[in-house]
C-alpha cells in the first residue's frame, strides 16, 4: 500500500518456471527431427535457466558492463577486460552445460584419447548424463540448449558460440588440436589468462572484420610474416588491426591475415606457451546498442605470434567453416529471443486487465499474440531442422540442406527478429519500453535482436550466399525432397513448393536473392509445421505467410484463424 494509491493490475514477472517443459513448439520440433532424443538434460537446463537467481545474474551482467584495463597501476600494459561476477556465473553455467563444445567431444576423445575432456563436468547447470558424446544428435541437443540459454542471456553466448564454431577448424593443425581440442570441450570454465597447458578449459573467438572491409574480407590488410617452425607448426608474426573483435578475453582467436600466398587463417593465442602475453593490444571497447554483457573490442597486433591453420592462401574457406556454425547460432539465437519475447508478452497479457477483461481475451490482442506465436514456432522449427543437418555430415542430402538452409535461416529468422521484438514489446505497453526490473528484459531483447542479423554476414551477404549455395549440387531436387512430405495439405504450400525448384534451377539474379531466400525459408517452415505443429498452426501459417491472407504488420491474421488453439499451445505455463 502506497500513501497515495494501491498498486494493482501490474502482472507478476515470469520467473521460476521450466523453459523447456513449457515450450511445446521446441519439444515437438525435437520429436520430429530426433524422435529418440533423450531430453532429460534439456529439462534440467530449462529449469535452471528459469530461476530467479540466474535471471538476476543476467540482469547484473548487463547493468555492470565489461571494463577495459589497458594498463595496470604501474603503467604496464595488461589489456584485460574485467567482467562482473554475474558474467562469470553465466559463463560457468553455459560451459558446464556443454554449449560451447559438447558436439565435438566424441571426436576429441577418439582422436586424442580422454585427456582433459575427461574432467568431470562442473557448474550448476551441467545436466547429468548429457549433452554427451554418446548423444545420437549432439548438434540438435546443443542447439536446443543454446536456444534455452539465449532466453536467459544472449550476449555472453558470443564466446560460447565462437568456441563451438572454432573447434573443427583447429583440426587442420594436429599439434594445436592436441593441446587445445580437449580444453575446448572441457566443461570447466577457466577465465584466467595463462598458458594453455595450465588451463582446465578454454574459449575462442574470431577476428576477420577490419575498418576498410568487413563483408569483403579480401580487403584485409593485416600482414603475416613467416617466423620459423615449432611444435605447433609454421609460426608467423602478425601486424595490423581488427575493427570488431568480440570477447577479447578468449584464450585464442582464429584471425585472417595476408600471407605471401594470400589471405590465410591463423591461430593467435592471448598467452604464448612461455607465459608471456601475446602482442595483441585492445584499443577500446565498442559502445553498442545492445549485447551489453559481451565485450566487443578494437584491437591491434604488433608482430603478434600466430600459427598457420591449413594452407596459406586458403583463409577464406577455412574461416567460413567457422562462420557456418556461428550462422546456425544466429538463427538459434533469434529463435530463442522470439520465444522469450512471446512468453513475456503472453505472461503480461494474461494478467493485465483493460476495458473489463484480460488483454489476452481482447480480440485484436489475440490476433497479435497468435501471429507472434506462429512466427516464433516457425523460427524454432527451421532452426532445429538446420541443426539436424550438422549431425549428419556424411549424408549427401543433409550436406546440401546445411549449405542451403544456413544462409536462408540466418537471413530470414534474424530479419524477422527486430519487428517481432517491437510488437512483443508493445504488448506490454509502456512497461515494455522501460529498462528497469524484470520486465526490462523486453527492452534488452529489443536491443539485442538486430545484432544476429548484422554479424557473421549481414542480410544481403546471406542472400548472396544462398545464390552460391545453389551451385553446390542438385539443390532443386534436394529442396523438392525436403518439401515432399508436406504436399497435398494446403493449396498455398503446394503452389510454392511446385514453383520453388524451378526458381532454384533458373538461378536467381542478385536483385532477386532476398525474395528467393524469403520464399525458401517460408516453404521449409510451412513443410516442417505440417509435421510438427497442430493443424491450427499449420493452416494459419500457410494462409497468412503463403496464401496472402495477411496484412503488413503482426496482428493481421484472417478472421477464420483458430486463435484459441494457437494461443493455448504458445502459453509458457
How far is 250 from 364, CA to CA, in rounded Å? 47
206 touches ligand FAD (CB under 6 A) = yes
The vertex-183 CA angle with 181 and 188, nearest 5°, equals 150
How far is 523 from 475, CA to CA, in rounded Å? 14
460 touches ligand FAD (CB under 6 A) = yes
- Smallest gap from Cβ 206 to ligand FAD, in A, equals 5
Residue 4 or 511: the one with the smaller Cβ distance to ligand FAD is 511
- Contact with ligand FAD (CB under 6 A) among 104, 244, 266, 411: 244
End-to-end Cα, the chain, rounded Å? 29
318 touches ligand FAD (CB under 6 A) = no
> Which H or E run includes 305?
strand 296-309
What does residue 274 show for φ and ψ, rounded to 5 degrees?
A: -85, 5
Where do we find the cell 600459427? 307
- Contact with ligand FAD (CB under 6 A) among 86, 220, 246, 376: 246
- Contact with ligand FAD (CB under 6 A) among 66, 103, 145, 205: 205
Residue 190 or 456: the one with the smaller Cβ distance to ligand FAD is 456
**Separation in Å, CA 252 to CA 180, 202, 204:** 9, 8, 5
CB–CB of 534/567 below 8 Å? no
215 touches ligand FAD (CB under 6 A) = yes
- Three-state DSSP at 554 gives coil
CB–CB of 354/15 below 8 Å? no
How far is 152 from 404, CA to CA, in rounded Å? 30
- Smallest gap from Cβ 227 to ligand FAD, in A, equals 23
208 touches ligand FAD (CB under 6 A) = yes
Q: Which residue is nearest to ligand FAD (CB)?
A: 214
Residue 283 or 556: the one with the smaller Cβ distance to ligand FAD is 283
The vertex-443 CA angle with 442 and 446, nearest 5°, equals 90
- Among positions 412-451, residues that touch ligand FAD (CB under 6 A) are 451
Residue 32 or 461: the one with the smaller Cβ distance to ligand FAD is 461
- Smallest gap from Cβ 29 to ligand FAD, in A, equals 28
Residue 240 or 457: the one with the smaller Cβ distance to ligand FAD is 457
Binding segment for ligand FAD among 93-101, 130-138, 213-221, 414-422 (CB under 6 A)?
A: 213-221
How far is 281 from 207, CA to CA, in rounded Å? 13
CB–CB of 220/202 below 8 Å? no
Binding segment for ligand FAD among 203-211, 489-497, 517-525, 549-557 (CB under 6 A)?
A: 203-211
Binding segment for ligand FAD among 7-15, 181-189, 224-232, 241-249 (CB under 6 A)?
A: 241-249
Neighbours of 552 (CB within 10 A): 5
User: E-strand spans in 182-249?
Assistant: 204-207, 223-230, 233-246
- Contact with ligand FAD (CB under 6 A) among 60, 81, 461, 467: 461
Binding segment for ligand FAD among 26-34, 42-50, 244-252, 416-424 (CB under 6 A)?
A: 244-252
* Burial (CB count <10 Å: 0-12, 13-18, 19+), residue 394: exposed
- Contact with ligand FAD (CB under 6 A) among 245, 390, 446, 554: 245
323 touches ligand FAD (CB under 6 A) = no
Nearest of 10, 19, 21 to residue 348 by alpha carbon: 10
How far is 33 from 373, CA to CA, in rounded Å? 20
- Smallest gap from Cβ 472 to ligand FAD, in A, equals 19
- Smallest gap from Cβ 350 to ligand FAD, in A, equals 34
- Three-state DSSP at 489 gives coil
How far is 215 from 209, CA to CA, in rounded Å? 7
454 touches ligand FAD (CB under 6 A) = yes
CB–CB of 411/463 below 8 Å? yes
- Among positions 294-313, residues that touch ligand FAD (CB under 6 A) are 296
456 touches ligand FAD (CB under 6 A) = yes
**Torsion of the alpha carbons at 379, 382, 387 and 393, rounded to the nearest 10:** -160
Binding segment for ligand FAD among 69-77, 79-87, 207-215, 562-570 (CB under 6 A)?
A: 207-215
- Smallest gap from Cβ 204 to ligand FAD, in A, equals 11
209 touches ligand FAD (CB under 6 A) = yes
Residue 214 or 572: the one with the smaller Cβ distance to ligand FAD is 214
Interface positions with ligand FAD (CB under 6 A): 205-209, 214-216, 244-246, 288, 291, 296, 451, 454-461
Amino acid at each position: 500500500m502506497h500513501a497515495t494509491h494501491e498498486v494493482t493490475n501490474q502482472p507478476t514477472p515470469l520467473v521460476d518456471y521450466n523453459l523447456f517443459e513449457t515450450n511445446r513448439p521446441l519439444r515437438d520440433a525435437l520429436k520430429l527431427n530426433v524422435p529418440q532424443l533423450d531430453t532429460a538434460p534439456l529439462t534440467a537446463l530449462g529449469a535452471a535457466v528459469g530461476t530467479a537467481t540466474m535471471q538476476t545474474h543476467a540482469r547484473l551482467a548487463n547493468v555492470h558492463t565489461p571494463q577495459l584495463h589497458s594498463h595496470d597501476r604501474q603503467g604496464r600494459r595488461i589489456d584485460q577486460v574485467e567482467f562482473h561476477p554475474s558474467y562469470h556465473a553465466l559463463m560457468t553455467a553455459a560451459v558446464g552445460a556443454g554449449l560451447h563444445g559438447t558436439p565435438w567431444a566424441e571426436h576429441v576423445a577418439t582422436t586424442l584419447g580422454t585427456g582433459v575432456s575427461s574432467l568431470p563436468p562442473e557448474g550448476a547447470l551441467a545436466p547429468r548424463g548429457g549433452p554427451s558424446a554418446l548423444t545420437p544428435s549432439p548438434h540438435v541437443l546443443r542447439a536446443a540448449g543454446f536456444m534455452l540459454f539465449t532466453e536467459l542471456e544472449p550476449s555472453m553466448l558470443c564466446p560460447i558460440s565462437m568456441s563451438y564454431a572454432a573447434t573443427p577448424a583447429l583440426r587442420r593443425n594436429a599439434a594445436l588440436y592436441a593441446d587445445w581440442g580437449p580444453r575446448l570441450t572441457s566443461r570447466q570454465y577457466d577465465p584466467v589468462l595463462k598458458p594453455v597447458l595450465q588451463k582446465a578449459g578454454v574459449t575462442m573467438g574470431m577476428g576477420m572484420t577490419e575498418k576498410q572491409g568487413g563483408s569483403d574480407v579480401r580487403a584485409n590488410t593485416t600482414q603475416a610474416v613467416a617466423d620459423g617452425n615449432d611444435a605447433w607448426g609454421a609460426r608467423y608474426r602478425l601486424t595490423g588491426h581488427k575493427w570488431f573483435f568480440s570477447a577479447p578475453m578468449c584464450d585464442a582467436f582464429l584471425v585472417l591475415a595476408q600471407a605471401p600466398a594470400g589471405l590465410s587463417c591463423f591461430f593467435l593465442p592471448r598467452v604464448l606457451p612461455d607465459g608471456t602475453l601475446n602482442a595483441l593490444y585492445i584499443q577500446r571497447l565498442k559502445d553498442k546498442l545492445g549485447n551489453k554483457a559481451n565485450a566487443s573490442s578494437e584491437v591491434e597486433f604488433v608482430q603478434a605470434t600466430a600459427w598457420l591453420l591449413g594452407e596459406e592462401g586458403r583463409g577464406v574457406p577455412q574461416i567460413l567453416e567457422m562462420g557456418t556454425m556461428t550462422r546456425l547460432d544466429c538463427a538459434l539465437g533469434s529463435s530463442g529471443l522470439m520465444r522469450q519475447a512471446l512468453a513475456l508478452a503472453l505472461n503480461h497479457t494474461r494478467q493485465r486487465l483493460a476495458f473489463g477483461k484480460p488483454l489476452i481475451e481482447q480480440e485484436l490482442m489475440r490476433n497479435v499474440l497468435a501471429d507472434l506465436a506462429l512466427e516464433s514456432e516457425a523460427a524454432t522449427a527451421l532452426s532445429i531442422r538446420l541443426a539436424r543437418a550438422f549431425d549428419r555430415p556424411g549424408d549427401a542430402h543433409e550436406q546440401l540442406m546445411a549449405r542451403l538452409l544456413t544462409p536462408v535461416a540466418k537471413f530470414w529468422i534474424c530479419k524477422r527478429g527486430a519487428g517481432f521484438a517491437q510488437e512483443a514489446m508493445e504488448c506490454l505497453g509502456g512497461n515494455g519500453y522501460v529498462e528497469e526490473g524484470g520486465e526490462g528484459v523486453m527492452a534488452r531483447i529489443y536491443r539485442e535482436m538486430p545484432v544476429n542479423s548484422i554479424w557473421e554476414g549481414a542480410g544481403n551477404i546471406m542472400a548472396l550466399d544462398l545464390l552460391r549455395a545453389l551451385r553446390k549440387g542438385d539443390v532443386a531436387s534436394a529442396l523438392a525432397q525436403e518439401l515432399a512430405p508436406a504436399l497435398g495439405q494446403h493449396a498455398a504450400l503446394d503452389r510454392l513448393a511446385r514453383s520453388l525448384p524451378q526458381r532454384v534451377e533458373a538461378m536467381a539474379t542478385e536483385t532477386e536473392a532476398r525474395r528467393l531466400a524469403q520464399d525458401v525459408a517460408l516453404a521449409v517452415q510451412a513443410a516442417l509445421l505440417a509435421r510438427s505443429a497442430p493443424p491450427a498452426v499449420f493452416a494459419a501459417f500457410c494462409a497468412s505467410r503463403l496464401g496472402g491472407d495477411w496484412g503488413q504488420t503482426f496482428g493481421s491474421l484472417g478472421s477464420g484463424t483458430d486463435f484459441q488453439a494457437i494461443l493455448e499451445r504458445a502459453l509458457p505455463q
